[in-house]
Amino acid sequence: MARKGIILAGGTGSRLYPATKALSKQLLPVYDKPMIYYPLTTLMLAGVREVLVITTPKDQESFQRLLGDGIAWGMSINYEIQNNPDGLVQSFLIGENFLDGEPVVLILGDNLFHGQALVQELKACDESLKGATLMAYPVRDPERYGVVEFDESRKVISIEEKPNFPKSRYAITGIYFYDSTVVERARKVQPSTRGELEITDLNQMYLNDGDLHVQIMSRGMAWLDTGTSDSLHEASSYIRTLEHRQGLKVGCPEEVAWRKGWIDDQQFETLASGLLRSGYGEYLLHILGKGELKLL
């Protein structure tokens, strides 16, 4: 059974005002590409070809103009509206018809993942279609995140949301792999004191059943949250440095689709030819003729 993907691209982006007053946060550029390209290509690298983008009523048309229906990339991209940002768990209730009882990977639209081992780590998370698998990343300020605690054998023993006294420095990142019971479980989640359906409560359900697994991201991997002006600038600088040093682009859906064989050379060249004036298309044509370049 194939795993489907959800990108949560709703919210008000208030931490980025005034830049987001008239534009969705996930449409802002991270260096040379729209922010949403990065979580989208992460899903693609995980082998996901059916994606649901959940966004706001005012932003849905903009996302549709940018991403279309996904056919050009050998995918299927659908859209649903989240009228109010009532918590991450709401994604599964909104996407119930799209999921149709299949397992899913949810990724936040402002999260960026990169590293040589990314594909292998995504595959490791995707291996089990039973239970939930999360990715954890060591941080200096775990009190800002959902935090996972392990025992000596690295078995998960607790998860807490933004604890005052964190039990570890491992933060839960913005990508979540769930089995086909996620919608059923999501219906049981009650609003928190903030009035939101908290992802930590959903994860706790899996933990209580002994079905919560956490993959610790390896050293050298990067996880960036681009939800503030400073973090957005840092992410853009990170991508710029990588691309200038390596001559390879990060978060390029055309390239990922081509390297995965979802589109052929002719389809790839057609996409590239329509983008030549930006230099983005020149890059695509270059790798079409230079097959030795490796996808990271």
Model pLDDT, residue 293: 45
Model pLDDT, residue 251: 97
- Asked if the structure places residue 285 within a domain, the reply is no
User: Cβ neighbours of residue 61 under 8 Å, at least 6 residues apart?
Assistant: none
Model pLDDT, residue 231: 93
- Asked if the structure places residue 259 within a domain, the reply is no
Domain that holds residue 19: 4-137+170-247
- Asked if the structure places residue 163 within a domain, the reply is no
pLDDT less than 50: residues of the chain:
291-296
pTM for the whole thing? Answer: 0.95
- Asked if the structure places residue 35 within a domain, the reply is yes
- Asked if the structure places residue 225 within a domain, the reply is yes
Model pLDDT, residue 114: 96
- Asked if the structure places residue 268 within a domain, the reply is no
* Cα distance between residue 91 and residue 6, in whole Å: 8
Judge contact between 145 and 191, C-beta under 8 A. Answer: no
Total domains, the chain: 1
Model pLDDT, residue 77: 98
- Asked if the structure places residue 46 within a domain, the reply is yes
Model pLDDT, residue 292: 43
* Cα distance between residue 257 and residue 244, in whole Å: 22
Model pLDDT, residue 289: 83
Which CATH number fits the domain that encloses residue 87? Answer: 3.90.550.10
Model pLDDT, residue 296: 42
Closest CA to 15 of 85, 66, 112: 85
Q: Which residues pair with 159 in a beta bridge?
A: 148
- Asked if the structure places residue 243 within a domain, the reply is yes
Model pLDDT, residue 245: 94
